[in-house]
Structure formats: C-alpha cells, structure tokens
Structure 1
Amino acid sequence: MSKILDEHVFTSESVSPGHPDKVCDQISDAVLDSCLAKDPKSRVACETLVGHNLVVNAGEITCSGIDSINTEKIARDVVKEIGYDRKELKFWHDSFEYISRIHGQSPDISQGVTEGEGLFDEQGAGDQGMMFGYACNETPELIPTPIALSHRLLMELDKIRKSGKIDYLRPDSKSQVSVKYVGGKPQYITTVLISHQTNDVPLDKIREDLVKIAKDVLEPTGLLRDDTEYYINPTGKFVLGGPYADAGLTGRKIIVDTYGGVGSHGGGAFSGKDPSKVDRSAAYYSRYAAKNIVAAGLAEKCEIQVSYAIGMARPLSINVETYETGKVDNVKIQKILESGQIFDFRPAAILEDLNLLKPSGWSYIDSAKYGHFGRDMFPWEKTDKVEQLKKAL
C-alpha cells in the first residue's frame, strides 16, 4: 500500500434522493423491503431503470408472497414520496409508463445459496467477488470527511425543500466537498459545490440562499475559511431535472453509497439485493468490523477486504490494512477476524448477527439515500465489539 501524500486535496460527492440513479435505488430497495416483509427468506435482485416518463423493473425475485406485491404501486409511491408529485416536474408519479420484467431466481444459483442444497451443507455466498469495509476517526460518523460533509449538505437541503421553507427547490440535486489534508489529517475545506434543481428563479437568489445553508451546515466543523470557494448551479440554470432530464439505473452510485472514493471498492452495488448476496451483506459486515476496530482505538484508519466463492460459506481471504496507523500489527487483527471468534464472516452468521432478514427500526430503502454508512440507525454501524477486540488484541 502506498503512503498517503503529505499534502493533498480530496473530493467526494453526494446525490439527493431525487437524483435519477437514487430514484432507482429507492424503488429497488422498496421492492426488497416488501418482499422481506412477506417472506424473510426472499431472494431478490431487483433492478430499476427510469427515463423520460418511464419506470422499468427487471430481475429475479423468489418470494412466497410475490403475488400480493404490487411493484407498480411501490414504484409510484416511492416517486411521489421523493417529491415528483406534480405535472410541472415533467416526470411525476401519476404519469409515467410502468413495465415489469421480473422472474424467479435461477435454480442453479439457489442451490448454492440455500442451506443443504448445494455441494456444501452451509448456506453459501450468493456470488463470488471481493468486498471492502472502511472506517476512520476523522468524523463522528467514522467515515471520511468529504463524503460525510457532502451527505450532510444534501440532508439539510432536502429537509428544507420538504418543509417548504425554500419553496423553489425541486427534488434533484448533487453536492461536492473538497478538503485539504496535511499529514493525513483534514485541515480545511477548499471548495463547496451544489447543483440543485429549482423553479425558474434568479440565479443570484439561489446562490445567496444555498451559500448561507452551506455555511450553516459546515461552520460547526471548523473547516471553513474565508477563502473557501462556493459554486452554486455553475451551468447557470437547473430547472429540468430528475428522470425527465437524465436516465437513471440501480447501482450506479456505488462511490456515493460507500466512502466517497476513499479506500477500495469491489465493484458490487447494494440496492435491490437481498442480503444473501454478499455484495451487500459482506460489505456491511466489513464496515462493521472496520468501524469497531477504529472505535476501539486499534487504528486511526482501517480497511478490510473479504472475498468469496459462490456457494461456499467461508471466505476465501480476509485482508486488513491500517495505513500505518495501527496500534497493533495488521496480521494480528487479521487472525482475529479469520478465527471467527468476534466477527463471523460466513453468510448465515452475517444475516443473524446484523438481523438483515427482519430489519427493525430501519428499512433497506433508508440505506438507498445519503449513503449506506455513517448513520446509527443501521445495525452494521453499532460498536458493540469494542471491548472484545481490546481484550483479544
């Protein structure tokens, strides 16, 4: 692993629930939530496409209550809840054409995942691949500063939009925050970028309002400076947005969903997949382990890679990297993870440990906006293994 540059600027972006790709993620995860509510053993791989007056669902679903699940109604309800609820937005919940091409899961995949049906007795991984989890002590959320701040901006803007406090805001928006690092530590914010869909109002008014909101959100961090630059709707106009202006697909914002480009990514998306798919569940569990390691003070930064073969329960490999910030040797942490004593990376154990089949106090659609990491509502964000790790290491 290369050392972190002594001085550099790192940038991360976030996108709002009204962004076309995020509309898709939320529809896909709303379908997943409905399936798991009917049948916790559901197998779901639901993809969504949105475009000009169009929503398409495709993929594989095996669920004992599937006949009573109205995927079209789910899609329309999600679109309405996001805020595409009136004709003037060009794309809205009452008008779009809906197409479904959903079918059952392949039996060849099912036998490798279902306990007792494949070559191995245990429930196997739903696919091959490698997944990563990451944590650092830069923010209270234990995620990198640029992505944390990008999410915070959009959460506040969406709250203001829905409250009607600023009545010209529309659902589609993006944010981007650039942070200067020195010696691996965030020092100050160099630039803030917000592109927000609006009614046709003067750009000067939009810039004045949104810069004020950005400063209110970011000032408490102590990272703003007098020379921090703000870019608001830099094309000069952003009235047409959402699926009317740009097509969207499930799983196309994997960096927004994770750590904003910090660390590594295995390439797998999350939304629309039930947790038998290790693309999702093992990435959550890797984050869970990495966050507890950092919360325990064993490292300032920690990245965990885990890899699987489809149909096999035990990971093929587990790798730990602390970027020279570890208080104990990486190999010692790795051996603890491999032992399964504190964290058990077998798919069935992950489902049980994080209660992923019967969410309580959260739902998968919650994870489809503002990133999957850094909010305490999710079970993979708990730090209940800290004392065990300290004792073991």
Structure 2
Amino acid sequence: MSIYPKNMFFTSESVTEGHPDKFCDQISDAILDECLRHDPMSRVACETYVTMGALIVGGEITTDAVFDVAKIARDVGNEIGYNSHEYGFDINTAAIFRTIHAQSPDIHMGVSKGEKEIGAGDQGLMFGYACNQTDELMPLPITLAHKLAMKLAEVRKSKVMPFLGPDGKTQVTVEYRDGKPLRVDYVVIAASHTAAYVTSDGKFTSEAVKQEIIDKVVGPIVGDLLDDDTKIVINGPGKFLVSGPQADTGLTGRKIIVDTYGGWSVHGGGAFSGKDPTKVDRSAGYMARYIAKNLVAAGLADECLLQIGYCIGVVDPVSVMVNSYGTGKYSDETLNKLVRKVFSLTPLGIINHLNLRRPNYLPTAAYGHFGRDHFTWEKVDATEELLAKVKNL
C-alpha cells in the first residue's frame, strides 16, 4: 500500500438502500432499466428528487419505451420499505411529479455517429481502482461499510429486527500498520427505528436495541477485526426516530464516494445512477475499474489506479494513465501500453465489452457499484491476455 502512510487510521462510510439519496438513485436506475428493457438504444439522463410527501422525476430521455413513472417509483419504494409514514415516507400516498423531455439534439448529434461507433456522451475524467486488501480487490474500509449497510437491511427485511426502518448509515475506521489492515478502531451505525424502541424519557434508542445491532450486525460482519479497544457508536445523537425523506431530502447522484471507493481513491466527479452507457461518467468508470481489477488480479500490480479522459462527441479517449504506486511488476509506462493494446476504450467498445445495454442497473444503485461479483465490470477474465501480451512490450 503506497497511496497513504504505512501507519494510519482510515475511515469510509456507506448508506442503506433507504437513505433518501439512495432511494433516488434506485428510482433513476429503475427507470433506466425499463427504457433499456424495451429499447436498448435509449438515451437516458434521469434525476430523482424526494422530500417530505413528494417525489419529482425529471431529466432527458429519448426512447421508444412507454412506461409509467409513478408505478416504477412506487415499486421501488415498496421494495425498500417506504410504505408507512412511520418511516418518514409512504410511496403509495406521496405526490409524484414527472418532468421529462428528450435529449438535447446537440448532444445527440455528437454521440450518434452510425452503427460502427459513437462519440462520448460527455467530457470528463473517470477513475478506476483496485488493490489486494480484500478478496473483492477493494479497500477494506468501504468493503466493511457496505457489508454493514447490507446487513442492516437484511435483518430488517427478514424480520430478525423488524423495528428497524429503511434509513441508515454505516461508517468504519480501520487501523493500518506497515501498510496492512490490522484492526477496526471505530464503527458508527445510524439505524432508524420505531417509537416503541425509544427510552422512557424519549431521548435515546434503547440499550437493548443498540446491543442487538452490535450482536446481529456489527459482530457478524467485522468479526475478528474487533478488539477490546474498538469503539462502537449506535445512533450517536441519541435516537433515530425521524428518518427518511421527512428528515433528509434525497437527490440522485449525491453519494458518489459511497458508490465508488469510499474516499480511498480519487474521483472524477461524475455520478452513475440514471445514466445510460453512452455517458462515459458511468461506462468508462466501470471500464476503468474492470481494467484496474484485472491488472491486480493478474499479479501485475498490488495496487492500480487508472484514469481515462474524454471529450464530448469524440470517439477515442483524450488520455489514459496507469499508476501502480510503485507496486507494478512492470513500469507504469509499460502497463499503460498494455492497457491500450488489450482494451478498446471507445464508448462503443466499452459498451460491447461489458454488455452495458441490458437492463441491469437497479442492483448497482445501493451498496456500491464495485466489489460485487455479479456485475460484468467485476469479472477477472482478461488476466491471461494481459499476462501473455505484456511480455511482448
């Protein structure tokens, strides 16, 4: 590990699927999926905004698909569990507003270049990262934070802890020694809950609930990384009774660090959810992760950062950069040449290689876009080709 000091504490956070921002991400991606299901060539840039009692879906969509925005939003809300005012939002009674128009003809002209190629749907810089800290080839702090958030949802939906609400956040601080994860120093959990589990003075989440979260959520996930010096805080302000959109306005694309590497790696600034794959913010971000992960999985580096830059309407990237932070088995210049030789980095090349025109985006919209094996950009199927071709450079 060479990005950071060898001895340090590093913190990453995640949020549950019921966090208002993630609620919006999921609606935007559900709409994208519905468009792609009927029209794989759909151009979609969908934004969702939620607040107390109301939800707005807007953006630029050009598609042959015909769909019911309100139904899609309600299906997502009911799946998450936002069907009661007790949890800050009832999707079945909320007002839902639709403000959608077609993609700009200027952007369409730049992107549409015929059947054999397309131009980038936007300018920008995208980063991908991988390291050998975990089996997922992800940094440990964000991996643990995501797994804690998923566990909160699991115990809620399975009725192990039915008094929990959809809204929640997790945070993990990992101590590193000599560049390796040593232990978890701090765990922070924010878990919304019903009024029945507040102390008699109305100020605090009950100690019984806190201990149950420690026993059934924190312990099973963090395990041996916990020790006698680990600090665990459940609902730091006291209680988490007012939650969801009644407590916090939500917006698509506002959790870009949660979505990627938890702050461990750099970020280009572009969000993912609600965007079709001609938007290189999304597709090239996925491709950069795929390439970095395959370089690490092939043993060509212990850690790898990849940057790709694009100009709107232009087919080829304006730049490609590989940084192995001194952990590469070959020079970064050689690894850069290898990447350009093995992978197509045009928008259409990326779309075809990762099969990005199918409706599979809703599952990405909570618990991180990276580190879960069922996405095409998480495959490590390019390692043999990388190892074969690097010898000839």
TM-score (norm 2): 0.95
Determine if the alignment matches structure 1 residue 50 to structure 2 residue 45. no
Name the residue aligned to 2:350.
350
Q: Is the 8 A contact 1:351 1:357 kept in 2?
A: yes
Amino acid at match of 1:80: N
Counterpart of 2:100 (choices 99, 102, 113) is 102
Structure 1 distance, partners of 2:364, 2:9, is 28
Amino acid at match of 1:165: V
Listed as ranges, the gaps of 5+ residues in structure 1 are none
Q: Is the 8 A contact 2:304 2:323 kept in 1?
A: yes
Instruction: Give SS of 2:225's match.
Output: coil
Listed as ranges, the gaps of 5+ residues in structure 2 are 199-205
The Cα RMSD (Å) is 1.4
Counterpart of 1:114 (choices 112, 115, 119) is 112
- Structure 1 segment 141-160 matched on structure 2, within 5 A: 141-160=136-155
Cα deviation for residue 88 of structure 1 reads: 2.5
Structure 2 distance, partners of 1:15, 1:347, is 30
Counterpart of 2:219 (choices 215, 221, 238) is 215
Q: Deviations over 1:203-247 (max 9, x none)?
A: 20121011112012111xx32222111010011110111111110
Amino acid at match of 2:213: L
Name the residue aligned to 1:330.
332
Counterpart of 2:182 (choices 178, 187, 210) is 187
Structure 2 distance, partners of 1:3, 1:269, is 24
Structure 1 distance, partners of 2:374, 2:170, is 23
Q: Is the 8 A contact 2:33 2:358 kept in 1?
A: no
Structure 2 distance, partners of 1:244, 1:115, is 45
Greater shift in the superposed pair: 3-12 or 269-278: 3-12
Instruction: Give SS of 2:221's match.
Output: helix
Q: Deviations over 1:57-89 (max 9, x none)?
A: 111000012xx2011111111111100112333
Name the residue aligned to 2:202.
none
Q: Deviations over 1:20-46 (max 9, x none)?
A: 000000000000000000100000000
Cα deviation for residue 198 of structure 1 reads: 0.6
Cα deviation for residue 304 of structure 1 reads: 0.1
Greater shift in the superposed pair: 27-36 or 236-245: 236-245
Structure 2 distance, partners of 1:86, 1:249, is 20
Determine if the alignment matches structure 1 residue 130 to structure 2 residue 130. no
Cα deviation for residue 391 of structure 1 reads: 1.3
Q: Is the 8 A contact 1:26 1:369 kept in 2?
A: yes
Structure 2 distance, partners of 1:23, 1:276, is 24
Percent identity of paired positions between Structure 1 and Structure 2: 51
Amino acid at match of 1:367: T
Cα deviation for residue 183 of structure 1 reads: 2.7
Aligned length, in residue pairs: 381
Cα deviation for residue 3 of structure 1 reads: 5.1
Counterpart of 1:295 (choices 294, 297, 302) is 297
Amino acid at match of 1:304: L
- Structure 1 segment 366-385 matched on structure 2, within 5 A: 366-385=363-382
Instruction: Give SS of 2:238's match.
Output: coil
Q: Is the 8 A contact 2:43 2:278 kept in 1?
A: yes
- Structure 1 segment 1-393 matched on structure 2, within 5 A: 4-65=4-65, 68-116=66-114, 122-200=117-195, 201-202=197-198, 203-212=206-215, 213-219=217-223, 222-339=224-341, 342-359=342-359, 363-393=360-390
Cα deviation for residue 364 of structure 1 reads: 0.4
Instruction: Give SS of 1:151's match.
Output: helix
The 1:89/1:4 distance shift into structure 2, 3 A limit, reads closer
TM-score (norm 1): 0.95
Cα deviation for residue 115 of structure 1 reads: 2.0
Cα deviation for residue 328 of structure 1 reads: 1.1
Structure 2 distance, partners of 1:318, 1:252, is 26
Name the residue aligned to 2:201.
none
Cα deviation for residue 280 of structure 1 reads: 0.0
Name the residue aligned to 2:203.
none
Structure 2 distance, partners of 1:371, 1:153, is 12
Amino acid at match of 2:240: F
Instruction: Give SS of 1:180's match.
Output: strand
Greater shift in the superposed pair: 138-147 or 223-232: 223-232
Instruction: Give SS of 2:371's match.
Output: coil
Structure 1 distance, partners of 2:44, 2:3, is 40
Amino acid at match of 1:233: N
Amino acid at match of 1:158: A
Structure 2 distance, partners of 1:146, 1:113, is 38
Structure 2 distance, partners of 1:175, 1:349, is 37
Q: Is the 8 A contact 1:124 1:312 kept in 2?
A: yes
Instruction: Give SS of 1:305's match.
Output: strand
Greater shift in the superposed pair: 74-83 or 18-27: 74-83
Q: Is the 8 A contact 1:4 1:183 kept in 2?
A: no
Q: Is the 8 A contact 1:52 1:91 kept in 2?
A: yes
